[in-house]
Structure 1
Amino acid sequence: MTTGDSRVWVADLLLAGAVAVISVGFALTDWVASLLALALSASLAFRRTYPVVALVWATTAAVAHALLLTNLTLSVVVVPMLVHGLARWSGRGLALTALGIGLAGAVAGPLWSLSWRAEAKLSDMLVPVAACAGVVIAAHVFGQRERERADTLLVRRRLERIEHDRAVQEAAAEERTQIAREVHDIVAHSLSMIAVQAEGGRALVTRDPSRAPEVLTVIAEESRTALNEIRDMVSLLRGDAAYRPAPGLMDIKDLVDRLGDRAHLDIAGRPPVIGPVLTLTIYRVIQESLTNFLRHAGPKAKAAITITTAETSTSVTIRDNGRGSTAPTDGKGHGLRTMHERVTASGGTMSAGAVPDGGFEVHAVFPLERVS
Structure 2
Amino acid sequence: MLNVRAKPPWIDRSMPLLVGFVQAVTNRGAEWNQVDRAPVDLLGYALLLAGPAALFARRRHPVPTLLVSIVVTCVFIARGHAYGPVFLTPIIAAYNAVMLGHRRVTWAIWIATYVFLIVYMTWLAPVPTPGWFHDLAVAAIMGIVLATAEFARARKDRLAEREQVEKEEMRRQASEERLTMARELHDVLAHNISLIHVQASTALHLIDDHPEQARTALTTIKHASKDVLTEMRSVLNVLRDGAPRSPTAGLDRLDELVERSGLPVAKRVTGRARRVPPSVDRAGYRIVQEALTNVTRHAPGASVTILLDYGPDTLTIQVTDSGGNAPGESLGGGNGVPGMRERAAALGGTLTATPYGRGFRVEARLPILEEGEPV
Which residues of 2 match residues 274-285 of structure 1 at below 5 A? Answer: 274-285=276-287
| Higher deviation after alignment, 4-13 or 238-247 | 238-247
Describe the superposition over 1:250-305 as per-residue Cα deviations: whole angstroms up to 9, x where unpaired: x212322333454332223343443444333221211121112222x233433322
The separation in 1 between residues aligned to 2:287 and 2:235, in whole angstroms, is 18
Instruction: Give the percent of matched residue pairs that are identical in Structure 1 and Structure 2.
Output: 23
Matching residue within 10, 26, 33 for 2:39: 33
Give 5+ residue unaligned stretches, structure 2: 1-8, 59-64
Q: For the Cα contact (< 8 Å) 2:73–2:87, is it kept in 1?
A: no
Give 5+ residue unaligned stretches, structure 1: 66-72, 117-124
The separation in 2 between residues aligned to 1:303 and 1:363, in whole angstroms, is 13
Alignment TM-score, normalising by the size of structure 1: 0.76
Q: For the Cα contact (< 8 Å) 2:196–2:221, is it kept in 1?
A: yes
Query: Which is higher, the Rg of structure 1 or of structure 2?
Result: 1
Residue in structure 2 matched with residue 119 of structure 1 by the alignment: none
The separation in 1 between residues aligned to 2:245 and 2:144, in whole angstroms, is 60
Residue in structure 2 matched with residue 22 of structure 1 by the alignment: 29
Matching residue within 196, 199, 204 for 1:197: 199
The separation in 2 between residues aligned to 1:85 and 1:242, in whole angstroms, is 50
Matching residue within 106, 110, 113 for 2:118: 106
The separation in 1 between residues aligned to 2:259 and 2:165, in whole angstroms, is 48
Residue in structure 1 matched with residue 344 of structure 2 by the alignment: 343
Q: For the Cα contact (< 8 Å) 1:12–1:47, is it kept in 2?
A: no
Matching residue within 128, 131, 134 for 2:130: 128
Partner AA of 2:366 in structure 1: F
Partner AA of 2:317 in structure 1: V
Instruction: State the Cα RMSD in Å.
Output: 3.7
Q: Does 1:292 align with 2:294?
A: yes
CA 83–219 in structure 1, closer or farther in 2 if over 3 Å, else same: closer
Residue in structure 2 matched with residue 93 of structure 1 by the alignment: 105
The separation in 2 between residues aligned to 1:84 and 1:356, in whole angstroms, is 82
Deviation at 1:316, TM superposition (A): 0.2
Describe the superposition over 1:307-360 as per-residue Cα deviations: whole angstroms up to 9, x where unpaired: 11223322001123445545585x4x3x33443343344x34122333264543
The separation in 2 between residues aligned to 1:313 and 1:54, in whole angstroms, is 72
SS in structure 2 opposite 1:34? coil
The separation in 2 between residues aligned to 1:148 and 1:352, in whole angstroms, is 59
Residue in structure 2 matched with residue 10 of structure 1 by the alignment: 17
Q: Does 1:362 align with 2:368?
A: no
Residue in structure 2 matched with residue 52 of structure 1 by the alignment: 67
Q: For the Cα contact (< 8 Å) 1:317–1:361, is it kept in 2?
A: yes
SS in structure 1 opposite 2:276? coil
The separation in 2 between residues aligned to 1:25 and 1:233, in whole angstroms, is 76
CA 241–252 in structure 1, closer or farther in 2 if over 3 Å, else same: same
Describe the superposition over 1:31-50 as per-residue Cα deviations: whole angstroms up to 9, x where unpaired: x6322754664464246442
Q: For the Cα contact (< 8 Å) 1:353–1:360, is it kept in 2?
A: yes
Q: For the Cα contact (< 8 Å) 1:20–1:37, is it kept in 2?
A: no
Residue in structure 1 matched with residue 321 of structure 2 by the alignment: 320
The separation in 1 between residues aligned to 2:265 and 2:52, in whole angstroms, is 86
Which residues of 2 match residues 96-245 of structure 1 at below 5 A? Answer: 96-113=108-125, 128-205=130-207, 207-208=209-210, 211-231=213-233
Deviation at 1:152, TM superposition (A): 0.9
Would you tell me which structure has more helix in proportion to its own residues?
A: 1
Which residues of 2 match residues 69-80 of structure 1 at below 5 A? Answer: 73=81, 75-77=82-84
The separation in 2 between residues aligned to 1:215 and 1:262, in whole angstroms, is 14
Q: For the Cα contact (< 8 Å) 2:277–2:368, is it kept in 1?
A: no
CA 97–61 in structure 1, closer or farther in 2 if over 3 Å, else same: same
Partner AA of 1:370 in structure 2: E
Deviation at 1:138, TM superposition (A): 1.3
Q: For the Cα contact (< 8 Å) 2:66–2:94, is it kept in 1?
A: no
